């Protein structure tokens, strides 16, 4: 997805491999590499981490190629993926770049009255223009990303939110430049694959064209993108049925959209799989002359899953994933503190996620 906002240990459903499912890669459930009941007792081994990185490189890559690159059997790769998928921990989705389809992206902060955040977050999650929605700052704030056509003056979400009774304040920040995000993921920074292995997995349809001018989408394109947004690994037969095209036409058009930079495939995954249980949004105020350098430096930090320049008094937004609160402190006082031109940092810990592409939403828990 365009933005990667992580799940934390609070308020999310427990992960488990469904009863009766095939063992996760031949190991009993609950061993390393499997998901079992409990507070995020999920760990991935090198094979599973390699699989996740491979899917981030090409979400539609053949499992046979992944197996060849990783040096394991096709069946092992398929079993590992299906177990993680069944547990709701991993999902491959097709995503469009906003600028490629004539959309703008806004980051919205919503202050809420006590006990109302979860229900309002659920309402926002049901809106088609929201890409993600999370509850932060102890339930006092909701953060969300809104995508809206560039020619539209405002989004209905942005115009209606201030009139909603539980809302105490609203601020909207237009994303003007992305330093890290979109097709890039923490998996591409920290995965185990070598450059040679990653090169073997890179799709032939990798983006080669500029997205300066929006691409005009047909009704068939929209049907194709909608199916891929639900499951990026949907088969060509199902895609053909959804679009009314032949499988040959589906293959050709999918490749064209990827080459044009309109479509990419993203891996939604539970950060707990990588041992990351603390996630936070950071709002930085940076002197304009240092903004580009600070953003470029953030893109290289292992903790950063998204970084973008925005409008507003806080002009640099960052999402970070850390192992625990102490690791977050170490990051804030270490790598972040060395950035040039930063005059202020506001930290908002993420508590619950109501929407993140296709991974399950939180239950309504007002007042709890």
Residue 353: per-residue pLDDT = 86
Check: CB of residue 13 under 8 Å from CB of residue 37.
no
Closest CA to 5 of 114, 107, 134, 98: 134
When mean pLDDT is compared over 126-135, 303-312, 346-355, the highest value belongs to: 303-312
Q: Cα angle vertex 185, ends 80, 217, to 5°?
A: 100
**d(C-alpha 260, C-alpha 330), whole Å:** 40
Q: 46-91+185-202: which CATH topology?
A: Arc Repressor Mutant, subunit A (1.10.10)
**d(C-alpha 36, C-alpha 279), whole Å:** 22
Name the DSSP class of 11: S
Task: For 109, list phi and psi in degrees, rounded to 5.
Answer: -110, 130
Contacts of 57 by beta carbon, 8 Å cutoff, 6+ apart: 188, 193, 198, 201, 202, 203
Quick one: average pLDDT of 226-230? 94
Q: What is the CA radius of gyration of the chain?
A: 20
Whole-prediction pTM value? 0.82
Residue 25: per-residue pLDDT = 32
Q: Report residue 143's pLDDT band, with 50, 70 and 90 as the boundaries.
A: very high
Q: Report residue 155's pLDDT band, with 50, 70 and 90 as the boundaries.
A: low
Check: CB of residue 100 under 8 Å from CB of residue 211.
yes
Tokens matching residue 133: 């929605």
Tokens matching residue 314: 């806080």
Long-range contact set of residues 10-13: C-beta below 8 Å, sequence gap at least 24: 10/351, 10/352, 11/135, 11/351, 11/352, 11/362, 11/365, 12/352, 12/353, 12/362, 13/88, 13/360, 13/362, 13/363
Quick one: average pLDDT of 314-329? 97
Closest CA to 112 of 59, 67, 61, 168: 168
Tokens matching residue 73: 């059997």
SS3 126: coil
């Amino acid at each position: 997805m365009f933005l990667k906002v992580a799940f934390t240990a609070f308020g999310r459903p427990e992960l488990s491999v469904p009863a009766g499912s095939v063992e996760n890669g031949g190991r009993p459930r609950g061993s390393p590499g499997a998901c079992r009941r409990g507070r995020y007792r999920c760990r991935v081994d090198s094979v599973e981490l390699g699989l996740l990185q491979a899917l981030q490189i090409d979400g539609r890559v053949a499992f046979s190629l992944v197996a060849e690159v990783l040096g394991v059997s096709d069946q092992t790769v398929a079993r590992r993926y299906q177990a993680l998928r069944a547990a709701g921990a991993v999902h491959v989705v097709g995503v469009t770049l906003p600028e490629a389809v004539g959309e703008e992206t806004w980051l919205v902060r919503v202050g809420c009255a006590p006990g109302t955040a979860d229900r309002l977050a659920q309402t926002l999650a049901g809106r088609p223009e929201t890409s993600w929605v999370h509850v932060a700052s102890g339930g006092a704030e909701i953060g969300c990303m809104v995508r809206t056509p560039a020619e539209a003056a405002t989004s209905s979400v942005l115009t209606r939110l201030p009139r909603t009774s539980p809302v105490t304040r609203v601020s909207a920040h237009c994303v003007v430049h992305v330093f890290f995000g979109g097709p890039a993921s923490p998996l591409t920074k920290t995965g185990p694959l070598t450059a040679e292995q990653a090169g073997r997995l890179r799709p032939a349809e990798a983006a080669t064209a500029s997205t300066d001018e929006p691409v005009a989408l047909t009704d068939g394109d929209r049907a194709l993108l909608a199916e891929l947004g639900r499951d990026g690994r949907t088969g060509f037969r199902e895609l053909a049925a959804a679009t009314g095209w032949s499988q040959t036409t589906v293959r050709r058009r999918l490749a064209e959209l990827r080459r044009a930079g309109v479509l990419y495939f993203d891996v939604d995954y539970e950060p707990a799989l990588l041992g990351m249980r603390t996630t936070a949004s950071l709002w930085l105020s940076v002197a304009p002359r240092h903004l580009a350098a600070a953003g470029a430096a953030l893109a290289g930090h292992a903790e950063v899953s998204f970084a973008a320049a925005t409008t507003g008094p806080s002009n640099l937004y960052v999402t970070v994933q850390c192992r625990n609160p102490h690791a977050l402190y170490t990051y804030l006082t270490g790598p972040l503190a060395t950035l040039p031109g930063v005059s202020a940092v506001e930290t908002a810990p993420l508590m619950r996620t109501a929407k993140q592409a296709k991974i399950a939403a939180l239950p309504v828990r007002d007042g709890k």
